[in-house]
Structure 1
């Protein structure tokens, strides 16, 4: 079994953190390390993480020196990763027990470097919203596809083959850093391959900064213009695709 480094940022995650850990602990692919960087939580998150780490040697925790956002927290964990594969899961999401086994097998059998899966939506209390994302897609996606948001690529579904990329780090923006990373990797002539099976449960948390639609649209535009440095015309074209898909989804 190849070693999988699982990357998680945490901030005031005490309500959901144990559920996330238990979903990792139950993986049928057992060769993993969980690298969690806390972003100066003010609740009991660190105490919970320390208790988990005492009882599971595969869990390695760290903390940011000041509250800096999820990108800095993830990058703190990425530089400590030792795995053959890099996986991401947020501190309020959960994996099915076969998630890693199926996804690593999919990548190994097909020679894939970048994969993601479909995912299901839950409300804050963990109840199903009866909605699966990317379940009907069955394709791979390049840089131009993802500029137009032809797939969602949920962060907690992604697995990367570490040796295929010169450098894996998230751009230092407060939101949308995962999408900006996917673009950065796909720009290097890679493709993202979808395993069209919902293997991750994504929790919709009411106070999450990623749920504000106006801020999400503003962030999307800034990624086009400031990070990808697209022309105004190209940015308008891609933003039109993004807007249409956001409404239809």
Structure 2
């Protein structure tokens, strides 16, 4: 059984896959399995992945397109590692990501941990300031802003169990983290930059238009809060999000 399971959804990511693959293969911690689910890509993503000659990599091709959360769940069902971590098919880890995260979790006896990550353009050049893991994460403070990013976070599945992504939510990562933090008191921050997140122009545009409604439903439909309480947290989330990304619009 591997120490860590890496969960990756893939959809038409052929343009970036080579860099993502190399960032995993060059990790200086090697006791991992990489579970990749392709979500019915129409580009050459599957062919790129199949060319990798490494028995630690397991590719699943979904029967139908179900979105990133569904693809992650298909991989999670097969995951056998003590630690669970996530890497989208267009993101990037520094070579010491796995080693330092696992060592930090063991030292701190943490059930969830997260690190800094660089916020980059599509060529992995810095776009705005790094996101800093400078605060402990609890259920209550995660309601107002999602400080846990999939590409720079890890949790101990032996201690907290696997947590699957909810069907139907466009903010499935936030819901998943909130459900995990219902089980534990705190997630620990490792204030060191060890990952790179690609900020695509299309995702930025979506955040400015449709995401408020999706975030409201996180509280109303998945946390089962009242309408007033759901709007309270949605407004707080929006204000915190503006501060988080405000340099983008300067």
TM over 0.5: yes
For residue 190 of structure 2, the aligned residue among 183, 195, 215 is: 195
1:110 is aligned to 108
Q: How does 1:57-72 map to 2 (within 5 A)?
A: 57-72=55-70
Which residue does the alignment assign to 2:144? 148
1:122-201 alignment runs, 5 A limit: 122-135=120-133, 137=134, 139-149=135-145, 151-173=146-168, 175-201=170-196
What is the DSSP-based 3-state SS (H/G/I as helix, E as strand, rest coil) of the residue aligned with 2:36? strand
Contact residue 137 and residue 187 of structure 2 kept, 8 A? yes
Is the Cα–Cα contact under 8 Å of residues 19 and 94 in structure 1 kept in the other structure? yes
Residues 174 and 9 of structure 1: is their aligned pair in 2 closer, same or farther, counting only changes over 3 Å?
farther
> How many angstroms apart in 1 are the aligned matches of 2:49 and 2:184?
38
| CA deviation vs aligned residue, 1:48-77 (integer Å, no higher than 9, x gap) | 01111xx11111000111011011100000
Unaligned runs of 5+ in 2: 245-250
Cα deviations by residue, 1:182-232 (Å, 9 ceiling, x for unpaired): 000111234221111111100012234884322222211111101111112
> Which structure 1 residue ranges, 5 or more long, are not aligned?
none
Per the TM alignment, residue 175 of structure 1 is displaced from its structure 2 partner at its CA by 2.4
CA RMSD of aligned residues (A): 1.7
Preserved contact between residue 71 and residue 173 of structure 1 (Cα < 8 Å): no
Residue 15 of structure 2 corresponds to which residue in structure 1?
15
Partners of 2:203 and 2:241 in 1: how far apart?
18
Specify which of 85, 88, 92 is matched with residue 86 of structure 2.
Answer: 88
CA distance in 1 between partners of 2:204 and 2:175 (Å): 17
How has the CA–CA distance of structure 1 residues 2 and 62 changed in structure 2, closer, same or farther, with 3 Å as cutoff? closer
Structure 2: how far apart are the matches of 1:110 and 1:196?
13
Paired residue secondary structure (2:15): coil
Residue aligned with 2:225, SS: coil
**Residue 16 of structure 1 aligns to a residue in which SS?**
helix
TM-score, length of structure 1 as denominator length = 0.93
CA distance in 2 between partners of 1:28 and 1:158 (Å): 18
Of 222, 229, 232, the residue aligned with 1:234 is: 229
8 A contact 1:210–1:216 mirrored in 2: no
Q: Does 1:207 align with 2:202?
A: yes
